[in-house]
Amino acid sequence: MTRYPTRLWLLARAIRGDSRANAAVEFALAAPILIALGFGAFDYGSAYVEGVRLSGAARAGAQQALYDVRNWQDEDLIERSALEEYAGRPLTQSEMSTMSVSASSLAFCACQAGADLDCSAICPDGSSPGRFVRVSLSRSVPLTLPYPWENSGSTPVAGEAVVRVR
């Protein structure tokens, strides 16, 4: 008994012999993965750049304490300097309160062993404590795609700087 090929069999044979169809199927399987990797690289690359920008602004805020040593404990001035560096221009008080970036600063004294203490106190080794300023900036960067490990649709980014004031 002679078997006549069915249409499906003829179609499968035609596709098997056509390399363009193989390339189309491989592209259809690989394209979503490549697109997801591209968006991931963009999202987390943007978050990295934002972290560098926040670190630079925190460093500028901490340097304010070095420029004006008499006001090294003025946390409002230091935070303002950091936020203005982040924005790239002078800011009003209302603009500072509506920014998506939060800034905090801390002026403290510490000994070489790392113990925080009052600035008028004496360290256990008899030396005077060092004066330090720590500035932290943080922001939530929105993501393009909803990643399974990021429930909020954004990723937190922070920058910090610490300087010793002499």
Share of the chain above pLDDT 90, in %: 51
Is the predicted pLDDT of residue 22 greater than 80, yes or no?
Answer: no
Mean pLDDT in residue range 81-88: 94
- Alpha helices by DSSP H, the chain: 7-17, 19-67, 75-87, 93-97
Residue with the larger pLDDT of the pair 90 and 3: 90
- Specify the pLDDT at position 10: 76
Predicted pLDDT of residue 102: 93
Q: Which of 9-13, 35-39, 69-73, 151-155 shows the lowest per-residue confidence on average (mean pLDDT)?
A: 9-13
d(CA 57, CA 54): 5
- By the 10 Å C-beta count (0-12 exposed, 13-18 middle, 19+ buried), 118 is classed as exposed
Q: What would the mean pLDDT of 53-79 be, rounded to a whole number? A: 92
- The DSSP call for residue 70 is G
Q: Name the band, by pLDDT with cuts 50, 70 and 90, for residue 140.
A: very high
Q: Which of 116, 144, 146 is nearest to 131 (CA)?
A: 116
Spatial separation of the C-alpha atoms in residues 80 and 75, rounded to whole Å: 8
Average pLDDT over residues 116-125: 84
